[in-house]
Amino acid sequence: MTFLSFDIEISDVFDVAPGQDIEIFAPFHVSVAASIVNGGEERLWYSEESPGRPALNLTPAKAREMLDYLEDMQNRGLPVVAWNGLKFDFQWLGHQAGDLAHAARIALKSYDPFFQFFNQRGFFLSLAKVAEGLGVPIRKSMDGAEAPRAWRQGRFKEVMDYVLGDCRITNHLVLAIKKRGGIAWVNRRGELDFERFERFKKVEEVISEPPPDTSWMDLPPDKRDFSRWIETLQV
């Protein structure tokens, strides 16, 4: 199984309260991104403000270059995967490129295990929780909230290593999900739980399916929040 995962980091610095949706701080700006073909090419995506020194954010041209690359890989038959890619990575890469419609076209044909799981169970799981449940070793070099500050402080190599690391974790998780036939995680009771995936589904297929049963929740998440940014676009 050959596929490509990608991940972005943002340059926006803010403090998030427990349980707070970071989208209230949007729009976000992409500082650096990474893409990895499992067992193959690894790439970093960033712009330079001077030779050898990364800029604060990707230029629109560099963001469009990455979108072109992802689309080209898709057209060659290589699945593109991102954990929570529909709501976050594609939206803000498209925003950085000044071309949300282009990002949306790729997003709809991509695979997002986070979104697929949500549409089956109605709640969210972190990358770390799934890695724990599937027995995937996970070594993060920094906390995600630290990355924007580190980038602004000039700790570019650390952030680059971090974003590449997240792509590698995603690749390991995708292979583990395929091998196990679904997602495993440790629930709040400390027990191992499991949700079967009949198969990996493209984002556009998950969008077209009925929403999950969230009648048991007091404040259930809204499925449309994942794809609301696409709804008004001509794709």
Domain membership flag for residue 225: yes
pLDDT of residue 40: 95
β partners of residue 96: none
How far apart are alpha carbons 84 and 115 in whole angstroms?
6
Residue 235 placed within a domain: no
* Dihedrals phi, psi of 186, to nearest 5 degrees: -90, 120
Residue 88 in any domain: the answer is yes
For the stretch 150-208, pLDDT in tens is 999 999 999 999 999 999 999 999 999 999 999 999 888 888 999 999 999 999 999 99
Q: Which domain holds residue 225?
A: 4-14+25-229
Q: Is residue 92 part of a domain?
A: yes
If you average pLDDT over residues 7-20, what whole number do you get?
90
Q: With respect to residue 79, please indicate whether it lies within any of the assigned structural domains.
A: yes
| Within-domain flag for 165 | yes
- Residue 20 placed within a domain: no
CA 191 to CA 184: how far, in whole Å?
10
- The CATH number given to whatever domain includes residue 150 is 3.30.420
Q: pTM of the predicted model, to two decimals?
A: 0.95
Which position has the token pair 């090419």? Answer: 41
Residue 19 domain-assigned (yes or no): no
Total domain count, the chain: 1
Considering the chain, what is the average pLDDT of its residues? 95
Q: Decide if 12 contacts 173 (C-beta within 8 A).
A: no
From the list 143, 87, 85, the residue with the least C-alpha distance to 110 is 85
